[in-house]
Structure 1
């Protein structure tokens, strides 16, 4: 294990504790995985802890200790005394196994060890490690315990009894993971844990990172049990790419983007929200889809403070992705288009390969579950956590290795300002080429949704950009200079605004494109979202 300090020759056993939790969705999945594989919660956590220790130590041979009650014989039930015995659980972490297979391996190891728990630990130590030093715990340095005993209460007439805290917190091992398992956790409730550690070896920040690693591996493993151990992610420790808060305009006091979207739906529910060739999706339909998705996300613990990235197929900003984006915002979470370690990643028609966030949710796999949720407007009572205007709403790439974060108030103010600047209203029809950035796609989706305008999506036919602009009566175009070099601005009577995006190029410049026309050309970097990207 990586340590902050060398092990002292004469340890004092002084310790401290770090508390952390696995979210309710993952905790429920721990229960389900244990049940499905005839295992216990202990065995699932044992497997996840072994993965973390293997990654940190570089070894695949992981020994973890645990204490057993030592009352296997019924004749000992009424015997007063300390009969606890310690056993070592030796698990080989094969990274080619799936997490479910590793849990099965942990189950075999644990059951076998428990069957021999009557053998005194000292006897095992003498047989296995007769030459040892007092500075290192024998056989294992990390222990695992499930705390399933509720605190005792003593009530006596006219006497107040209280428990005194021990000012000295001993660390008998380098690390001790304690999991609260007293039966009080309800479905959807967090699974609380605690690392007790030797302060002579570790700093608090180091052990907090261990806790995040364990929560990440456990969450990923129980969410996708068939995922190979090698792909289970440790928590990302961000050092080179800190999150920076952009300089923002004056405080915004108007309606949020979510409230404005609801107003657009109420104003004209039958208006086209998405147009794909000759097919249309109404605002009422898009609203219903996003409401169901918001409740599904909330049921998975996604809410205020969560950052969610959406990985879709190659079709770009289609109806499903648009519904997901609005569902994330309605759940009170932040839409992450900066691709920097989101808390949650939602898959829709997308490959499961590549880097992952700790919690992966698949809309495709959960389609039947999502359909069961109500399509009625989402209220505060439906969210996983209370949400307010200061909570993050959009995570943006800045191009400097960091990310920018816009709160709901900041994002709502920017979208409101761009609505006026770009002259978007309910009659507008907004199209974006495939070459523009996700930031342009987000700006288009947000201003259209707030105004009740139509987002146009190419239906896959091999039409030229000129044909699309003419046939679909495009009023607002999001495009790169390269896209614009292939069209003649003078041909388009409906086109009023062009937002230029460098895309993968180096410049937004398209000098001369709108000469002789009334088309307003707006560089993306001059918009409120563009300025937020550049603020770092």
Structure 2
């Protein structure tokens, strides 16, 4: 990415902020924790993911040796939360509180050391551990007076975005509202999208303030007019329902020599992909896989991952995508909870996957 960014400002009105503060106090938590929980819910609802890591800066002056040192010392924490859409926000807040307190307890661990220990796949296009930052700037305003000249605070224009999204909340002491500054990567978002995102977040916050026992999966993120438009908008003439396998097979029949996949120097036509997926589908069927079964796909994005999806749909089963970089406990939960019958993977990541199900390595099937 180019790292170009822009910033937009919004306000949370005093009544909403006070309601959230009161709710947080009733549950022995803080306004930050309530705001963090609401943002995690929004990101989960909009992305379809339930594993939501959010970064936050924290003062890095914990050591007494730094008391007399001039300079800015800031560390970064990663607040990782698993969102259960059936859970009430009250219960979610209890877990958010524990996540945040655990992170603050280990705030002295240098962020670089954490990155080295986790060893995520690195890319210049994204931050290694999170893409969304949440920060509170609620320090007392500093006044500076000099003899003669008038001095005032001027915010520098922000034209760089170090993250996909950065939310900075600060108190407006004149109005009592809370200001939200949203810095966003212009390669990914535009002003209209950010405006929509913020209004959805405010709607989540208002729903929580009105009824904190509401299941987070039922919080309405759309405006009434948006929902009505989605439900009433006329679309193209109805067509007979079809399956994903049939759609892909039809595409292969219409233009078999067209390029279907280009990845990391590899290239496959629709005909080649169709033939390879047929062989894999027959193998799955021979192993008893069919309708009502679930097959896990534990591999990074690749030619093989597309091949696996097509073959599984041809067998009549459903596929469960699993990121092999997930913690072992999470992968175990996913395969166990889904009752996956079998898994497809590749040799390069097989060692990361638990033996809760039988994994077939695609690059060894023809050997």
TM-score (norm: length of structure 2): 0.58
Counterparts of 2:201 and 2:226 in 1: how far apart (Å)? 19
Counterparts of 1:180 and 1:35 in 2: how far apart (Å)? 19
Shift of 1:213: 0.9
Cα distance change, pair 167–55 in 1 and its aligned pair in 2 (3 A): same
Specify which structure has the higher proportion of helix.
Answer: 2
Matched, 1:160 2:139: no
Shift of 1:18: 1.8
Counterparts of 1:224 and 1:131 in 2: how far apart (Å)? 40
Matched, 1:42 2:29: no
Counterpart of 1:219?
206
Matched, 1:169 2:159: yes
Equivalent residue runs for 1:500-519 within 5 Å:
none
Matched, 1:147 2:137: yes
Are 1:52 and 1:217, in contact at CA under 8 Å, matched by a contact in 2? yes
Counterparts of 1:75 and 1:88 in 2: how far apart (Å)? 25
- Root-mean-square deviation (CA, aligned residues, Å) is 2.4
Among candidates 33, 54, 58, match of residue 68 of structure 1: 58
Among candidates 228, 244, 269, match of residue 215 of structure 2: 228
Counterparts of 1:240 and 1:104 in 2: how far apart (Å)? 31
Counterparts of 2:227 and 2:104 in 1: how far apart (Å)? 46
Equivalent residue runs for 1:83-98 within 5 Å:
83-98=73-88
Shift of 1:166: 2.7
Equivalent residue runs for 1:50-449 within 5 Å:
50-181=40-171, 184=173, 189-236=176-223, 238=225
**Who wins on radius of gyration, i.e. which is larger?**
1
Cα distance change, pair 143–168 in 1 and its aligned pair in 2 (3 A): closer
Shift of 1:181: 3.7
Shift of 1:16: 1.2
Shift of 1:46: 0.3
TM-score (norm: length of structure 1): 0.41
Shift of 1:82: 1.9
Shift of 1:112: 0.2
Cα distance change, pair 235–164 in 1 and its aligned pair in 2 (3 A): same
Are 2:81 and 2:99, in contact at CA under 8 Å, matched by a contact in 1? yes
Cα distance change, pair 240–96 in 1 and its aligned pair in 2 (3 A): closer
Cα distance change, pair 134–196 in 1 and its aligned pair in 2 (3 A): same
> Where does structure 2 lack aligned partners over 5 or more consecutive residues?
234-367
Counterpart of 2:5?
15
Shift of 1:237: 7.2
Are 1:14 and 1:168, in contact at CA under 8 Å, matched by a contact in 2? no
Counterparts of 1:185 and 1:229 in 2: how far apart (Å)? 33
> Where does structure 1 lack aligned partners over 5 or more consecutive residues?
1-7, 243-339, 341-399, 402-536
Shift of 1:80: 1.6
Counterparts of 2:197 and 2:108 in 1: how far apart (Å)? 32
Shift of 1:15: 1.3
